[in-house]
Amino acid sequence: MLFSFRWLLLEYAVRSLFRRFGKNFFIFFILSFLIFILSSVLMIAESIKAELNATLKTLPDMTLQRFVAGKQTLIPVSRVDALLEIQGVGSVTPRIWGYYYFKPAGVNFSVVGLDAYEEPYSATMARLIKDVDWTQRSPSPTMIVGEGVKTILRENYYNDFFNFITPEGQTKKVGIAGVFHSDLALEANDLIVLPKQTAYEIFGMNASDATDIVLKVSANVSEIPTIVAKIIEKFPDLRVVTRDDIRVSYQNIFDYKSGFFLALFCVCAFAFFIIVYDKSNALSSEEKKEIGILKALGWDTDTVLQEKFFESFILSLGAFLFGLATALFYVYALQAPLLRAIFTGYSTLKPPFALPYTLSGSMIVLLFLLSVPVYIAATLIPAWRTSIVDADEVLR
């Protein structure tokens, strides 16, 4: 038989592990801690990627940005008509949006200008403003803010209005009409939506310009590359960002971030495996005696080797399962305090969102491959060295 399985040997290995509890527990503890850190980081990355991909579905088909001298600038709104003439283009909406830096709190608000009669350019935006009475006419302009913005403003004693400072140095008073309640907290938390006219005033922009233009394809999604080519031919200074481009760059960023972490992690793991190698290489006289007795009882080298293999396999598999379980609890039940900062950044207005549960079989395989085989490789040669001990030599 090529790989015969011996249950009694497995039992012997388990008992042998418990007999040297102190030494094995140390290895078990460190190994599960390493696996815990590794799985947490990968799970957080995976989870945020899933959240971003969920919001991605609601984005417009393509976004057009104008570049002058390599820097993004404003697009004349007059180009909208020319774009509508292209076959296959469904709707074209110029957007006016930007960031407003609020100095007292040191945060950036995302300010979006939207008119009541206008069709919202993304499904999320439509959902956000659905419940708010947008059409109410009040003498002064009003805005709708995200929960994070509301909190920050309240901390600075702006309870029902806010004074924007325009580039000309004047104040622009805008009343707070409502607050978003959104499941997609990742994008709505720092958001302020107000009428277009007000947005132009706050940014000090000309009403004939737009920040960028979003474009929807009328029916056939497979026409997107052709439409992109036509737009670029017509306006060479425009850059077209399709939804697919964004998806790819998300994947790249998160693979890069977790890959970078993994590369650092490898150094740490390497140090640990050297300790393991060293520890299992140095046999105590008691262990030597045990092997000697086993050999005298008729065990051959292969059996001892197999027993040693079982030991390291049980130990590393146990540590793997334990580390994985704690990581699951830490990431999804506790929402990964501390570690998620690596991915979400330090911005004050970004944090509150729940990591959605995403655990694929491939992730478990990946974590397994990064832990168990590497540990077994480190114990391979020490195990062999143990197994070739001669009975007469140690028992003498």
- Binding footprint of other proteins on the chain (CB under 8 A): 1-2, 42, 248, 251-252, 255-256, 258-260, 262-263, 266, 301-302, 305, 362, 365-366, 369-370, 373-374, 376-377, 380-381, 383-384, 387-388
Decide whether 6 or 154 has the Cβ nearer to other proteins.
Answer: 6
Smallest gap from Cβ 377 to other proteins, in A, equals: 5
Alpha-carbon distances of 53 from 197, 254, 356, rounded to whole Å? 32, 12, 12
Decide whether 330 or 375 has the Cβ nearer to other proteins.
Answer: 375
Decide whether 232 or 374 has the Cβ nearer to other proteins.
Answer: 374
Residue spans of beta strands (DSSP E) within the chain? 62-68, 71-73, 75-76, 89-102, 107-113, 142-145, 161-165, 171-179, 191-194, 209-210, 212-217, 238-242
Alpha-carbon distances of 183 from 124, 127, 180, 355, rounded to whole Å? 10, 10, 10, 12
Smallest gap from Cβ 170 to other proteins, in A, equals: 46
Decide whether 179 or 339 has the Cβ nearer to other proteins.
Answer: 339
Smallest gap from Cβ 369 to other proteins, in A, equals: 5
**Helices 285-296, 361-387: crossing angle, 10 deg rounding:** 80
**Helices 7-19, 21-56: crossing angle, 10 deg rounding:** 110
Smallest gap from Cβ 243 to other proteins, in A, equals: 14
Decide whether 263 or 271 has the Cβ nearer to other proteins.
Answer: 263
Smallest gap from Cβ 338 to other proteins, in A, equals: 20
β-sheet bridge partners, residue 144: 178, 193
Decide whether 107 or 304 has the Cβ nearer to other proteins.
Answer: 304
Task: Measure the N-to-C terminal CA separation of the chain; round to a whole number of Å.
Answer: 35
Residue 145: both structure tokens together: 């803010």
Smallest gap from Cβ 256 to other proteins, in A, equals: 7
